[in-house]
Amino acid sequence: MLIRVRKYAAFFTIAIVGACAYFFVAQEPLSVKAQKAYEYLHVQVDRSAQTPYEYGNHRFSALEAQWYDIDAAEYYFRLAHARDPKLPYVNHQIARIEFLRGDFSDAFIYINRELEVNPNPSPSTYYIRGLIAGFAGLYDVAAQDYEKYLESDPTNWAALNDYAWVLLKANRPDDALVATTFGLRYFPYNPWLLNSNAIALFETGHLVPALEQVRKASESAMYLEEIDWLIAYPGNDPRIAREGLQALFDSIRENMQRIRVAVDEEREAQ
């Protein structure tokens, strides 16, 4: 009788888990739904931290739109964290999710925890902390983290551009000009770097060169595709890639207008 009760209890547990798995993926195409259901069931049987961590990474890839699911990624990362809070990079990934959700306080907690528990942190952990600090308004702190990251990857254009952004926010346009000029030596047609370089030139009083650079940024941006934005901003929902590109287009247009007005005013004053 005891064996039979255990058998039914086990069946009941699997039934509940199976039902949860169904609702977890109910709106997906059949093949994706089946894979997600399998993964959800798998982590109930496999009690390791590594397995849900790997599933979380799969759900967090912006380059695989059909699999991207930030809620599922968070579920798996937090499950992995609950099983092993010192698992390398699990705090890092939770910090990224908190950052994308706009919770900079918790993002700071998790990214700092990653640096505490991981004896060999990835340089990208400093990059993520720089992003968090920058959006939290801690521009000098962010600049230091970007500098730490750039020690290992000095020609990463995205890092140089984000570094320049916090330098501009910290009222350090001369340093931003140096950073973006250096980046443009390697990526002369990068619209993000060209746009930031134009702002730095504008802020340092070089109005005509600023106008030239922002025009180049506008021309280069015409050739961008959604995949370029997804590569530049990993971890974001692929469905907002078009909006992300539009934000860049709007920034370039607004900067061009502001710089053009300043150039015209300077010429009239001469």
Q: Is residue 226 part of a domain?
A: yes
Percent of the chain with pLDDT over 90: 73
101 occurs within a structural domain: no
Domain count within the chain: 1
CA–CA gap between residue 233 and residue 227 (Å, rounded): 10
Residue 105: phi, psi to the nearest 5?
Answer: -65, -50
Q: What is the DSSP letter of 136?
A: T
Domain membership flag for residue 41: no
User: 3-class secondary structure for 64-76?
Assistant: CCCCCCHHHHHHH
Q: Does 51 map to a domain?
A: no
Whether 16 maps to a domain, the answer reads no
Say if 59 falls within a structural domain: no
User: pTM for the whole thing?
Assistant: 0.83
Per-residue model confidence as pLDDT tens digits over 2-40: 333 333 333 333 333 433 443 444 455 557 778 888 888
**pLDDT-derived band at 62, boundaries 50, 70, 90:** confident
Is residue 138 in a domain? Answer: no
Tokens of 129: 């902390």
Structural domain span for residue 177:
173-270
Return the higher-pLDDT residue of 203 and 37: 203
Q: Is residue 166 part of a domain?
A: no
